[in-house]
């Protein structure tokens, strides 16, 4: 297993994370190859969000380390980790409500995010990038609308756009379809497929219909550990996986 | 554009203020000039607290640094060549202390009015925000630093003139401060600085810098994960707040002809915050207007019943926190816009609940 680690863009090595003695993650290892799309599922409290928190430096592992492109990042400050090209979309949308859609995208598209850098006017390239992101997220028609006035689904897309704006190598999406209609969910899946060509993407979601649309390798987390890895088809046939979803067993059952 | 109406209102008020010497008597004009000088510090509080969410209760420190920087120059100019300032003689000081000497130069002193407060604010902010100190702890630390400064000023009679403060100025840049037309001139200079502070800050807050400050206030972590370093932005905001307080302190010193520890202490620093809260800490104009009106009312009440003043201020503060966290400006805005956007929890209430 350790032989292929140099190929991995993200390499989580044997991390343990605890909150006041409670182990949210226990000896978890996970590696995600460059350019791939990976889906992370697991019952509530499995530690999915905590894993993302650890990757972006919001929480620090007690033991183990997180490597990115070969470099240990679990000791770096958060904005440095973000600067290396890891961006995360949180569960709750957090667009800058006072700014327009375009301004939100333009702000996160800035290369120089220092105090003085932000005071300069954006470069041509940065503006083009914002336009590109408007197009990508399907928000071109809403460019000048204040973000506060967007519909829920639009906010989620804007936030994905903001996360993508800095052109991160690794994109972490935590439940991007929460609260979306079936149609919005399908659009989001299409958006993620577009992104997956250019970025390495790790998606968490509970919506099995969405997971099916993503059609990507799945890692199942349970009680802070990797429980299974495989495709949706195999996992659905796995009685142990069904077992841990007991209590919400219909989730893994096909929607059709 | 809805902004232009309020911008026009501000311009109208500034113009009306510019002509005040023509229609106001000597005492009201003096009072107005002083209060306008203070409103520059209020603009700083608006940036630091209203936008960046940092509740500093020690703005008097930076106000005092600006004030003392100018006062030292004025004192040296008023002292005959080769002699020591009077209070040093009384206290048995035999040679001009090293840090006094360069203040004999007007350009140096004027530069220090800007540099000292900004640098001190930058240092304090760097120490606090690098370590991610937030909320009530910031309020406590800033208050404690101010207290230390005031204590030092009081205790160092020979260096700072202690509780008496630095007084007896005569000329500034060759102008006799007791001359007949000085009052109007000083008033206009003050108004010019108020206008500059308001416009400069308004323009700055309209850049992405302002947007990021708001984002930090509402959710510091999120900005961090978008790749911005909140500490750097908070330090910059705090420095601007310190700079504005310093300019305000220097102007105020000119208006009063003196600066003393009592003018910059805890009561002053808290009052500043109260007025800004009352006017509306999220609004530049609200902050400045809150201070101006508050001080004018204070002048009335405290000359009628000096003891009542503290109670009035305390009650106002409680009222603002409980009933209108966005101040009067917030109330007005709420009326203009039928469905107000959800306001973030007031940093004050948040800090209180953090502390519990
Ligand atoms: N800051 C924290 N302090 C204490 N416990 C925490 C903290 N964050 C997470 N936990 C606990 O760690 C466990 C894992 O939580 P986590 O949020 O990672 O789960 P999840 O897999 O994302 O669940 P969900 O599907 O509900 O989002 C939970 O039991 C949670 O209560
Ligand atoms: Mg979660």
B3-52 per-position pLDDT tens digit: 567 788 888 999 999 999 999 988 899 999 999 999 999 999 999 999 99
Are the beta carbons of B208 and A79 separated by less than 8 Å?
A: no
Residues 181 through 210 of chain B touching chain A, CB cutoff 8 Å: 207-209
**Helix %, strand %, coil % for chain B, to 5?**
75, 0, 20
- Which residues in chain B are closer than 8 Å to A103, comparing Cβ atoms? 208, 211
The residue behind tokens 């109670």 is B311
Q: Which residue does chain B place closest to A116, by CA atoms? A: B209
The pLDDT of residue A205 is above 60: yes
Give the global pTM: 0.80
Quote the tokens at residue B347: 């940093």
* Residue from A46, A56, A174, A244 to probe ligand 1 pocket by mutation (most atoms less than 8 Å from CB): A46
Question: What is the structure's pLDDT at B80?
Answer: 93
Instruction: Kindly report the backbone phi and psi dihedral angles of residue A28, in degrees, each rounded to the nearest multiple of 5, phi listed first.
Output: -95, 135
Are A40 and A203 a contacting pair, CB within 8 Å? yes
Q: A230 forms bridges with which residues in the sheet?
A: A218
Per-residue pLDDT band at B334 (split at 50, 70, 90): low
Instruction: Kindly report the backbone phi and psi dihedral angles of residue B254, in degrees, each rounded to the nearest multiple of 5, phi listed first.
Output: -65, -40
Higher pLDDT, B230 or B279: B230
Q: What is the mean pLDDT of residues B163-190?
A: 92
- Which residues in chain A are closer than 8 Å to B341, comparing Cβ atoms? 97, 148
C-alpha distances out from residue B294 to B56, B74, B297, Å = 19, 30, 5
Are A76 and A58 a contacting pair, CB within 8 Å? no
Ligand 1 contact via A45 beta carbon (within 6 Å): yes
* Residue from A47, A54, A88, A248 to probe ligand 1 pocket by mutation (most atoms less than 8 Å from CB): A47
Given CB atoms, is A98 within the 8 Å cutoff of chain B? yes
Residue B95 belongs to a domain? yes
| Chain Cα centroid distance, residue B346 | 21
Ligand 1 contact via A57 beta carbon (within 6 Å): no
pLDDT above 70 covers a percentage of chain B that reads 92
Given CB atoms, is B339 within the 8 Å cutoff of chain A? no
Residue B313 belongs to a domain? no
Residues 187 through 246 of chain A touching chain B, CB cutoff 8 Å: none
Q: Report the alpha-carbon distance of residue A34 to residue A196 in Å, rounded.
A: 10
Write the Ramachandran bin of B232: left for phi over 0, alpha for psi from -120 to 50, otherwise beta. alpha
Burial letters B50-72, b for 16+ CB under 10 A, else e: bbbbbbbbbbbbbbbbbbbbbbb
- The rounded Å distance from CA B96 to ligand 2 centre is 66
pLDDT above 90 covers a percentage of chain A that reads 58
Q: Helices B308-323 and B284-304, interaxial angle, to 10°?
A: 150
Sort A100 into a burial class: Cβ within 10 Å, 0-12 / 13-18 / 19+: middle
Are the beta carbons of A97 and B232 separated by less than 8 Å?
A: no
Query: B207: closest CA among A163, A154, A110?
Result: A110
Question: What is the structure's pLDDT at A251?
Answer: 54
Q: Report the alpha-carbon distance of residue B318 to residue B302 in Å, rounded.
A: 19
- Which residues in chain A are closer than 8 Å to B208, comparing Cβ atoms? 103, 106-107, 110, 118-119
Given CB atoms, is A145 within the 8 Å cutoff of chain B? no
Are the beta carbons of B227 and A118 separated by less than 8 Å?
A: no
Residue B318 belongs to a domain? no
Residue B198 belongs to a domain? yes
**Strand pairing of A170-174 and A8-19?**
unpaired
Q: What is the mean pLDDT of residues B295-303?
A: 83
Instruction: Order the strands of the A63-68 sheet from edge to edge.
Output: A22-33, A8-19, A63-68, A71-72
Provide CB contacts within 8 A for B158, sequence distance 6+: B87, B88, B91, B92, B93
Which range has the worst mean pLDDT, A177-181, B234-238, B317-321? B317-321
Interface confidence (ipTM) of the complex: 0.71
Are B267 and B305 a contacting pair, CB within 8 Å? no
DSSP string computed for A11-64: EEEEEEEEETTEEEEEEEEEEEETT-EEEEE-STTSSHHHHHHHHTTSS--SEE
Question: Which structural domains are found in chain A, ordered by start?
Answer: 8-92+168-254 (3.40.50.300), 96-149 (no CATH)
Are the beta carbons of B211 and A94 separated by less than 8 Å?
A: no
B48-103 per-position pLDDT tens digit: 999 999 999 999 999 999 999 999 999 999 999 889 999 999 999 999 999 999 99
Q: How many CB atoms lie within 10 A of CB B226?
A: 25
Residue B62 belongs to a domain? yes
Q: Report the alpha-carbon distance of residue B243 to residue B50 in Å, rounded.
A: 16
Residue B227 belongs to a domain? yes
Per-residue pLDDT band at A4 (split at 50, 70, 90): very low
The SS3 assignment for A204 reads strand
B198-230 per-position pLDDT tens digit: 999 999 998 889 989 988 888 888 788 778 899
Residue B266 belongs to a domain? no
Q: Report the alpha-carbon distance of residue A255 to residue A208 in Å, rounded.
A: 8
Question: What is the structure's pLDDT at A254?
Answer: 47
Q: How many CB atoms lie within 10 A of CB A66?
A: 25
Q: Report the alpha-carbon distance of residue B253 to residue B251 in Å, rounded.
A: 5
**Strand pairing of A37-41 and A200-204?**
parallel
Half-sphere exposure of B26 (CA within 13 A, CB side): 4
Instruction: Kindly report the backbone phi and psi dihedral angles of residue B344, in degrees, each rounded to the nearest multiple of 5, phi listed first.
Output: -65, 155
Residue B352 belongs to a domain? no
Note down the domain range covering B149.
28-261
Are the beta carbons of B233 and A88 separated by less than 8 Å?
A: no
Per-residue pLDDT band at B346 (split at 50, 70, 90): very low
Which range has the worst mean pLDDT, A111-120, B35-44, B163-172, B181-190? A111-120
Protein residue with least CA distance to atom 3, ligand 1: A19
C-alpha distances out from residue B257 to A141, B168, B260, Å = 60, 7, 10
Radius of gyration of chain B (CA): 20
Are A104 and A162 a contacting pair, CB within 8 Å? yes
Report the domain count for chain B.
1
Ligand 1 contact via A44 beta carbon (within 6 Å): yes
- Which residues in chain A are closer than 8 Å to B50, comparing Cβ atoms? none
């Amino acid at each position: 297993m350790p032989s292929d680690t140099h190929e991995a863009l993200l390499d989580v090595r044997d991390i343990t994370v605890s909150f006041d003695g409670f182990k949210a993650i226990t000896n978890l290892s996970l590696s995600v190859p460059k350019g791939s799309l990976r889906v992370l599922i697991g019952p509530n409290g499995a530690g999915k969000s905590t894993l993302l928190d650890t990757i972006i430096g919001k929480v620090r592992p007690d033991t183990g380390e997180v490597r990115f492109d070969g470099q240990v990042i679990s000791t770096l400050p958060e904005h440095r980790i973000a600067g290396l090209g890891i961006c995360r979309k949180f569960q709750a949308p957090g667009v800058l409500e006072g700014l327009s859609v375009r301004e939100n995208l333009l702000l996160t598209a800035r290369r120089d995010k220092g105090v003085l850098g932000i005071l300069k006017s954006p470069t041509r390239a940065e503006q083009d990038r914002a336009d590109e992101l408007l197009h990508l997220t399907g928000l071109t028609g809403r460019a000048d609308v204040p973000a506060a006035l967007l519909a829920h689904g639009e906010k989620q897309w804007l936030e994905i756009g903001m996360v993508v704006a800095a052109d991160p190598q690794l994109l972490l999406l935590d439940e991007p379809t929460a609260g979306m209609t079936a149609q919005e969910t399908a659009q989001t899946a299409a958006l993620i497929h577009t992104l997956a060509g250019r970025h390495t993407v790790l998606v968490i979601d509970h919506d099995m219909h969405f997971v099916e649309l993503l059609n990507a390798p799945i890692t199942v987390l349970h009680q802070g550990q990797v429980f299974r890895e495989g495709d949706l088809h195999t996992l659905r046939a796995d009685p142990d996986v069904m077992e841990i979803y007991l209590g919400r067993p219909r989730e893994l059952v096909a929607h059709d | 554009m809805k902004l232009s109406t309020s911008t026009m209102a501000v311009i109208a008020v500034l113009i009306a203020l510019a002509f005040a010497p023509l229609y106001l008597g000597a005492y009201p004009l003096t009072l107005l000039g002083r209060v306008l000088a203070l409103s520059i510090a209020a603009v700083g509080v608006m940036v630091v607290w209203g936008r960046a969410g940092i509740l500093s209760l020690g703005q008097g420190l930076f106000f005092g640094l600006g004030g003392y920087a100018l006062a030292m120059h004025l004192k040296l100019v008023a002292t005959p060549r080769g002699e020591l300032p009077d209070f040093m003689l009384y206290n048995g000081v035999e040679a001009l202390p090293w840090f006094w000497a360069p203040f004999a130069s007007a350009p140096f002193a004027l530069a220090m009015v800007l540099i000292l407060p900004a640098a001190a604010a930058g240092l304090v902010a760097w120490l606090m925000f690098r370590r991610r100190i937030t909320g009530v702890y910031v309020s406590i630390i800033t208050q404690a630093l101010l207290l230390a400064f005031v204590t030092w000023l009081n205790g160092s009679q020979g260096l700072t003139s202690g509780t008496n403060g630095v007084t007896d100025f005569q000329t500034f840049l060759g102008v006799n401060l007791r001359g007949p037309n000085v009052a109007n001139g000083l008033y206009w200079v003050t108004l010019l600085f108020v206008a500059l502070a308001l416009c400069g800050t308004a323009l700055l807050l309209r850049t992405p810098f302002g947007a990021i400050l708001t984002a930090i206030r509402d959710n510091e972590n999120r900005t961090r994960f978008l790749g911005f370093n909140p500490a750097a932005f908070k330090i910059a905001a705090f420095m601007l707040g310190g700079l504005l307080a310093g300019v305000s302190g220097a102007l105020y010193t000119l208006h009063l002809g003196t600066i003393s520890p009592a003018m910059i202490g805890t009561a002053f620093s808290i009052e500043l915050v109260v007025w800004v809260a009352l006017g509306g800490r999220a609004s530049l104009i609200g902050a400045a207007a809150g201070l101006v009106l508050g001080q004018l009312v204070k002048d009335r009440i405290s000359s009628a019943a000096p003891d009542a003043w503290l109670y009035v201020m305390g009650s106002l503060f409680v009222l603002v926190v409980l009933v209108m966290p966005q101040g009067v400006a917030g109330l007005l805005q709420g009326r203009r816009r039928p469905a107000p956007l959800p306001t973030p929890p007031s940093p004050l209430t948040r800090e209180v609940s953090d502390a519990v």
